[in-house]
């Protein structure tokens, strides 16, 4: 039987990278999202089975996060349908220190399928591909948490670990807790990016209420606001400060440092400011 991998989250930070690695290795993939055909939408379970047909393994990234209240029921239903479709192995992206995520992990681990859990810390790429990039470009990053350390993980490392789990039988049925090699505060990260880019970028601590109000004004959905409140007022309490060896355990190499991530991101041009238009004479 041809091994084809279903990738939930074709356009996500990890999903597109996992797909790239599988294609480069000559593997068949079906990466899906709400805009693909067949489509996949976590809010439309009646359409999931069509997306699963012909696939024997899956990489699953739940949106917006496994911590949200409806995630466990969705994962349980996904697994039920995956069994019907003939999927034998699921690699689940999870988050550290989140009670809801741990419950979802248990559902998969006890499902009877082959499984892997890739339990990740905060993504370094949030500064270059996520909600913090505007602050980096404007020169001011305002967040509720400036002094709590977190071992930020390079998403390329996550994708490498997920690819290894999908393709190496020796890694099946294991949890890989993946973090960067050092714990840094958001303030530390901003200073590193300022150094790498040679720009004046400041970190500004603000209250969680102010932060959430700003997000609400941007029109973010309620579940994302709930998630941000959960992350910054509950999870970001120091519980995840200790780096783990999941990257090295899976890949036999150290995790990427935040400085190396920042250097790579800067070289890509993602933080390059637009050149001011020449003044009219």
User: What domains does the chain contain, in order, with CATH numbers?
Assistant: 4-268 (3.40.50.720)
How many angstroms separate the Cα of 187 from the Cα of each of 142, 145, 201, 242, 255?
10, 9, 10, 17, 21
Question: What tens digit of pLDDT does each residue of 16-61 get?
Answer: 999 999 999 999 999 999 999 999 999 999 999 999 999 999 999 9
Question: Which DSSP string do the residues of 222-257 spell out, in sequence order?
Answer: HHHHHHHHHIIIII-SSTT-S---HHHHHHSSPPPP
pLDDT at 1: 47
List of long-range contacts for 220-227, beta carbons under 8 Å, 24+ apart: 223/64, 223/68, 224/64, 226/68, 227/64, 227/65, 227/67, 227/68
Question: What tens digit of pLDDT does each residue of 87-98 get?
Answer: 999 999 999 999
Q: 3-state secondary structure string, 181-216?
A: CCCECHHHHHHHHHHHHCCCCEEEECCHHHHHHHHH
Average pLDDT for the chain: 94
Question: What tens digit of pLDDT does each residue of 203-260 get?
Answer: 999 999 999 998 899 888 888 899 899 988 889 999 999 999 999 999 999 999 999 9
Cβ–Cβ < 8 Å for 52, 85: yes
- Measured in whole angstroms, how far is the alpha carbon of residue 87 from the centre of its chain? 23
Q: For the chain, how big is the Rg over CA atoms in Å?
A: 19
**Number of Cβ atoms within 10 Å of the Cβ of 218:** 9
């Amino acid at each position: 039987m041809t091994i084809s991998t279903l990738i939930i989250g074709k356009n996500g930070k990890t999903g597109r990278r996992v797909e790239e690695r599988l294609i480069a290795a000559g593997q068949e993939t079906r990466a899906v999202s709400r805009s693909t055909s067949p489509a996949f939408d976590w809010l439309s379970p009646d359409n999931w089975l069509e997306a699963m047909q012909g696939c024997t393994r899956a990489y699953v990234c739940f949106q917006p996060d496994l911590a949200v209240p409806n995630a466990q029921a969705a994962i349980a239903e996904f697994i039920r349908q995956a069994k019907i479709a003939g999927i034998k192995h699921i690699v689940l992206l999870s988050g550290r220190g989140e009670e809801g995520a741990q419950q979802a992990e248990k559902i998969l681990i006890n499902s009877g399928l082959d499984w892997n859990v890739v339990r990740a810390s905060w993504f370094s790429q949030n500064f270059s591909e996520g909600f913090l990039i505007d602050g980096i470009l404007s020169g001011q990053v305002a967040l509720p948490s400036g002094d709590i350390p977190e071992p930020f993980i390079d998403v390329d490392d996550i994708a490498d670990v997920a690819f290894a789990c999908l393709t190496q039988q020796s890694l099946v049925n294991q949890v890989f807790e993946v973090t960067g090699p050092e714990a840094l505060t958001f303030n530390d990260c901003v200073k590193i990016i300022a150094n790498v880019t040679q720009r004046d970028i400041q970190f500004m601590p603000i209250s969680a209420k102010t932060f959430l109000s700003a997000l609400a004004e941007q029109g973010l959905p309620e579940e994302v606001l709930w998630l941000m409140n959960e992350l910054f007022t509950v999870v970001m309490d120091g519980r995840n400060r200790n780096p783990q060896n999941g990257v090295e355990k899976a890949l036999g190499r150290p995790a990427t440092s935040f400085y190396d991530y920042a250097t790579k991101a800067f070289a890509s041009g993602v933080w390059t400011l637009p050149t001011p238009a020449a003044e009219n004479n």
